[in-house]
Structure 1
Amino acid sequence: MEILTSDFFQRALVGGILIGVTAPLIGLFLVLRRLSMIGDTLSHVTIAGVAFGFLIGVYPIAAGLVFAVIASFGIEKLRKAYKSYAELSIAIIMSGGVALASLFFTLGRGYNADVMSYLFGSIYTLDRTDLMVVGVVTAIVILVVALFHKEFFLLSFEEDAAAVTGLPVKILNMLLTIMTALVISTAIKIVGALLVSALLTIPVAISLLLAKSFRASIILSVIISEIAVIAGLVIAGIWNLAPGATIVLLLIGLLVVIMLGKKGVRA
């Protein structure tokens, strides 16, 4: 139990709580727009950026963030070019991210172990700089969602109708994609690139089963995310488990319980 009062665990808890807010906030709009897989895409690109950061000796998360933002612009360009096949943009950018990551892994064999920690998460190694970056991104995401949640809502359900009403659809699309890139690039050290998409989507999936309104979905998805993050970190800390995996498995377990409960109610 001593681990729960240690400095590194307290930093991990703060970082997890912050990401527990931003991930479902952005994830809700991604799910509504049927772009759930964008999380996997940008996480792969972010890993390429992290590897490049280690290669040239710069702050890895900053390099990953730059790569993710550039990729978000690419996704939007390709999504517009293939309007009827929007998922192509995700597949193309993901392929590029995997290719770049593989290339940088080959060029920098000496730091591959460090990069691997970003694949599976290393929340216990968060330092003050990491927390500062996560805090800034959290503040930005909360501010943007608070200012434009109505616009994002309309955009998520009917993009053409949003354009007809005079909304700046291109700008809003880009803003949402950039916010996604920011969240993913800061979350990979907490839950890992291979699991970050789960934190974006599973709390939202649970909230959509329970909530009866859009506002309720937002609030409930954040609450569910925070419960899983805090409980997952405590369980992982006490029993020496992988934190990111524990958080995601708790979310999946909760989703299964809710689905079975709703099925039982209908029966």
Structure 2
Amino acid sequence: MLSTVLASGFFWRAILAGSFLAIACGLLGVFLVWRQEAMITHGLSHVAFAGIALGLVLNFLPLMVSLIVCVLGSLYILKLKQQTKLPGETALAILSSAGMALAIFLVSLRMNFGVELMGYLFGDILAISPVEVWLSIVLALMVTVLILINYHQLLYMTFDRETALVAGVKADRLDKILVMLMAITVVLGLRIVGLLLVSALTVVPAASALQLARSFRQALILSTIFSLISILAGIALAYLVNLPASASIVFLSLIIFLATLGGKRLSPALKK
């Protein structure tokens, strides 16, 4: 059985897509958690689901339609935050509700694609296509290059945005790039863990890393490692024990988080 799994193309597509998506999630998640914007992935997942439903209704490349809709939605969230007095969470809640309402409306127009929608709701690693693998690779490269080139600017605006603006950091432009990359990450994550759990891909590994890290750079590295372990071990466990990959990945992420939380609390006691 194991040899059959290892010889299957869909298994390696899941491994490749999961690995590169883990890199993107691990890196972006630290910025989101530190800036207290972790819930943006939850809101964007609803917008992405509306894009999937629209693509299915139009019978035209649901993944591509969802990418476009989600990226536009992410930019609109920023616009609402910047041009109104609404707090970020309020703007996010409005767009999230609108996205889910649109998805439900579109689904009601055609009831014959329930199976495809279930794959996006709960994840379906068997359905990962070569296109999604390549998109995951490109996404991971874009996120990595962005952080390497703009590390100090991103760090500056994350800790003190107002001072960064005064110092000439183009925070608005970097915000747009970050949120667009996050939107792409959410859409690609739907296949692996589904709409209901996609926010855990970015939030939990980052939260685990911040329990142990002594610097922001260390947090980025640890978050990426935890994300890779969760996704790769979760996919392997799903194949070996016949469990849902989405649940396996998130449970492993939570186990790592609880371990880091416990380790942080035990550390002072051990030093005494």
Question: Does the pair score TM above 0.5?
Answer: yes
- Which residue, 40, 43, 51 being the options, matches 1:41? 43
TM superposition shift of 1:84 = 6.3
Which of 6, 21, 25 is the matching residue for 2:23? 21
Residue 122 of structure 1 pairs with residue 124 of structure 2: yes
Q: Which runs of 5+ in 1 are unaligned?
A: none
User: Which residue does 1:102 correspond to in 2?
Assistant: 104
Partner of 1:30: 32
Aligned partner of 1:211 in structure 2 is 213
User: What residue identity is the alignment partner of 1:225?
Assistant: S
Does the 8 Å contact 2:15/2:232 carry over to 1? yes
1:40 partner amino acid: H
Counterpart contact for 1:4–1:234, Cα < 8 Å: no
In structure 2, the partner of 1:145 is 147
Distance 2:260 2:30 in 1: 18
The answer to whether residue 238 in structure 2 is matched with residue 236 in structure 1 is: yes
Q: 1:195 aligns with which of 194, 197, 205?
A: 197
Structure 1 match to 2:175 = 173
Q: In the alignment, residue 22 of structure 1 is paired with which amino acid?
A: A
Residue 10 of structure 2 aligns with an amino acid whose one-letter code is F
Alignment match, 2:81: 79
TM-score norm. by structure 1 comes to 0.96
C-alpha contact 2:26 2:226 (8 A) present in aligned 1: no
Which residue number in structure 2 is paired with residue 261 of structure 1?
A: 263
Comparing 137-146 and 115-124, the one that deviates more: 137-146
Q: 3-12 vs 88-97, which deviates more?
A: 3-12
1:155 CA drift (Å): 1.5
Normalized against structure 2, the TM-score is what?
Answer: 0.94
Deviation larger for 124-133 or 75-84? 75-84
Point out where structure 2 has 5 or more consecutive residues left out of the alignment: none
Tell me the distance in 2 between the aligned counterparts of 1:121 and 1:189. Answer: 5
**How big is the alpha-carbon RMSD for the aligned residues of Structure 1 and Structure 2?**
1.3
In structure 2, what is the Cα distance between the partners aligned to 1:98 and 1:11? 29
Name the aligned partner's letter for residue 250 of structure 1.
L
Q: Percent identity?
A: 34
